[in-house]
C-alpha cells in the first residue's frame, strides 16, 4: 500500500510505501471497526426484539420484564 505525503510549503507530493508497522496498524483498525459495527448491529437488534416482545405482552395483558419496560418508558 502507498500513501501520499504533501509538503504544504512547496505543494510537492510524494508517493511512499506504508511501513510494516503502518500496515499492521491499518489491519488492526479494520478488525476493530468491524467488531464495533457488529456490536452496534447486535445492540439494535436486541433493542428491536425487546420492543416487539414488550408490545406483544402489553397487547395480551402479560407482565413485562424490567428490561422490556425500559424500552417503552419515555
The 10s digit of each residue's pLDDT in 47-72 is 999 999 998 998 899 998 888 888 88
The CA distances from residue 28 to 32, 36, 47, 57, in Å, are 6, 12, 29, 43
Tens digits of per-residue pLDDT, 1-37?
899 999 999 999 999 999 999 999 999 999 999 999 9
Can you tell me whether residue 3 is helix, strand or coil?
strand
Cβ–Cβ < 8 Å for 54, 63:
no
CB-facing half-sphere around the CA of 7: CA atoms within 13 A: 7
pLDDT confidence bin for 74, thresholds 50/70/90: low
Amino acid at each position: 500500500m502507498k500513501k501520499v505525503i504533501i509538503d504544504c510549503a512547496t505543494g510537492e507530493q510524494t508517493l511512499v510505501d506504508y511501513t510494516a508497522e503502518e500496515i499492521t496498524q491499518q489491519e488492526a483498525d479494520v478488525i476493530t471497526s468491524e467488531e464495533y459495527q457488529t456490536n452496534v448491529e447486535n445492540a439494535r437488534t436486541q433493542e428491536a426484539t425487546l420492543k416487539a416482545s414488550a408490545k406483544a405482552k402489553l397487547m395480551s395483558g402479560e407482565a413485562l420484564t424490567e428490561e422490556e419496560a425500559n424500552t417503552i418508558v419515555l
